[in-house]
Chain A
Amino acid sequence: MESMVEVRGLSKTFDGSTYILKDIDLSIARNEVVAILGPSGTGKSTLLRCLNYLCEPTAGSVRVGAVTVDAARHMGSEVRALRRQSAMVFQSYNLFKNKTAKENVMEALVTVQRKPRAEAEAIALRLLEKVGMLDRKDFYPAKMSGGQQQRVGIARALAVSPNVLLFDEPTSALDPELVGEVLNTIRQLAEEGTSTMLLVTHEIRFARSVASRVLFMDGGHIAADGTPEQIIDSPENPRLRQFLNFVSK
């Protein structure tokens, strides 16, 4: 079966000598749930953000779904086509503050997919119900807790029926008691088994239980790649072992 995400020779550098990402190759199959672990500053988020070109790679190619973009020669229209293949859930939620929960979910359906408002609204209500936010549909972000905002963020990402869901540390900005509600929502999606998901997270136990594959990044490389059992339960890479020891304490 053809992969859903294909990354070839991806590099990101700011000054030509310091590499955030160095020559990354990665292939992700349809419906795989991939957790990306690693210390801060090792390029986890950058890798994720190169997949939708919020961060422009210096070299290499990215394919998501049917759209390929090469860093050496790309046009704005290609980048937009690539972005329409995925949807991202952000660390700081990034809901549109001038729109209600429902309008946040509807926005891309109306502007990008040009769906009639009634249809977009029906989709928005269905997804808000799915993430347990239907009763807050007319609330503006300022009136919602972090956990509620993030669940709306997940509904907004699901709305565009993306080929790939990108989660960029979705619980890192949340108060501890609100982490659970967001993780449960993500777990529910993972267990449905119908979405390809990439998840940058520091929640090792969560990654262990929902991911079908775990990547460990270190110094701009993918230092380890395997099943959760291989990576988290019996790590071989010394840096990985050190990392897991540190975070589990």
Chain B
Amino acid sequence: MKFSWEYFFATFPLIAEKLPVTLSLTLISAGFSLALGTAMALVNYYRVPVLAQCLKAWSSFIRGTPAVTQMFFFYYGLATVSALVLNMSPLVAVAVVMSLNMSAFVAESVRAALISVDEGQKEAALSLGMSSFQMITRIVIPQAVRVALPPLFNDMINLFKMSSLAFLVGIRDVMGASRIESAASFRFFECYAIVMVIYWGCTIVLTFLQRRLEKRCNAIYE
């Protein structure tokens, strides 16, 4: 079977129309993982006793296991013991796993950014009588944001790609749609080429945004 451009262009819109599913999964998980990851990073930064150690173990577990297994473990494994998971819609379940997974990576990116602000500036703030809350909100965080942006953007690109796992629990995102199309037409080459192009195109747009944002943030430091 030759690669059919005709089929490619005809099927492209059918698959691309599922992009909102992929994007909303990504956006929702992005919001939760950024909030959760930042909270985790602050626990680590302030060395909150017990909690910091627990998060360290949690982070090691998340980063040491594949996202696919985490999703199966959660959606099929935990469902046998938890009614909450059992009654969960696949979309919510995937968003939960994506958020939990990515929060561990976000925590690491934010933590590294927080500790990148030198001790000297913090001492200067404290020596002037600023409270540690004022120090962190006015001096540390504004500078940490700039350091955190590139790795966080990479985390979000990974999250976007991770959303393709949703098809495994029956969600019709772009990946799911192309599986269904290809199963019906046997045109696997074209269908998966379409998904690749869609993901790649979106990532190029994200990377472009990343560059522009970084340039704006770095302007005052150069």
Contact = CB atoms under 8 A, between A and B. Distances in A.
Asked if chains A and B come from one complex, the reply is yes
Contacts of A239: none
A95 B128 CA distance: 12
B129 interface: yes
Interface in B95-136: 118, 120-121, 123-131, 134
Contact of B121 (A97, A108, A111): A97
B139 interface: yes
A92 B139 contact: no
A83 B129 contact: yes
B138 interface: yes
B128 A140 contact: no
A83 B125 contact: no
A94 B130 CA distance: 15
Contacts of A156: 124, 128
B221 interface: yes
**DSSP majority for the B interface?**
helix
Given A98-B220, A107-B138, A160 B129 contact: yes
Contact of A54 (B118, B123, B142): B123
Contacts of A112: 128-130, 134
B138 A111 contact: yes
A97 B143 CA distance: 8
A108 B123 contact: no
A221 interface: no
B16 to A, nearest CB: 41
B6 interface: no
B129 A142 contact: no
The interface size bin for chain B is: 20 to 34
Contact of A87 (B118, B120, B128, B138): B128
Nearest to B138: A111
Contact of B124 (A90, A111, A140, A142): A90
A88 interface: yes
Nearest to A98: B142
B134 to A, nearest CB: 5
Given A90-B120, A111-B138, A83 B126 contact: yes
Given A84-B129, A90-B123, 18 more contacts: A54-B123, A54-B126, A80-B131, A83-B126, A83-B127, A86-B127, A88-B127, A90-B124, A93-B120, A98-B139, A98-B220, A107-B128, A107-B130, A111-B130, A140-B221, A142-B221, A142-B222, A160-B129
9 contacts: A54-B123, A83-B126, A93-B120, A94-B124, A98-B139, A111-B134, A112-B130, A142-B222, A156-B128
Interface of A: 52, 54, 80, 83-84, 86-88, 90, 92-98, 107-108, 111-112, 140, 142, 156, 160
